[in-house]
Structure 1
Amino acid sequence: MDRDGNPRLDGKGRPRLIESKYGASTTWMGKLPYRVNAGRHGGCPVLAVGITPELMTDREEYDREHA
């Protein structure tokens, strides 16, 4: 969403799906414990938030469009 609360649109004028913001560079849970335990967090605090597919409001739409 933009600062006014309106959905952001893709190049075709359709609302951008939340899931499209995350790519291969996003650390997923499978990598996180290793990186934290190996000290690969640069000494910075780590805040981990787990988002399951069920919590994504546009998950079914994403699955339909990317099947």
Structure 2
Amino acid sequence: MKEKPEAKKRIVHGNTLECPVCKNDTFWMRNTLMNTRGMTFFKVEWANKEAQNYVCDSCGYVYWFIQP
């Protein structure tokens, strides 16, 4: 099993993230492709936009952020 990245405090637009479920303040980060039906149909999922996720190190709640 792959090890998860380092969990630490994360700041987004000047605000420190806090988990709305368990109130934890440490998260690990991953990137996720935002798949769409059209791109999947044409088998070019790699061209989809990417979202940045912050995952609560305590309960697993996931914040999703996409760049405008």
Task: Bin the TM-score by the shorter chain.
Answer: under 0.3
Structure 1 or 2: more helix by fraction: 1
The higher radius of gyration belongs to 1
Structure 1 or 2: more strand by fraction: 2
TM-score normalised over the length of structure 1: 0.26
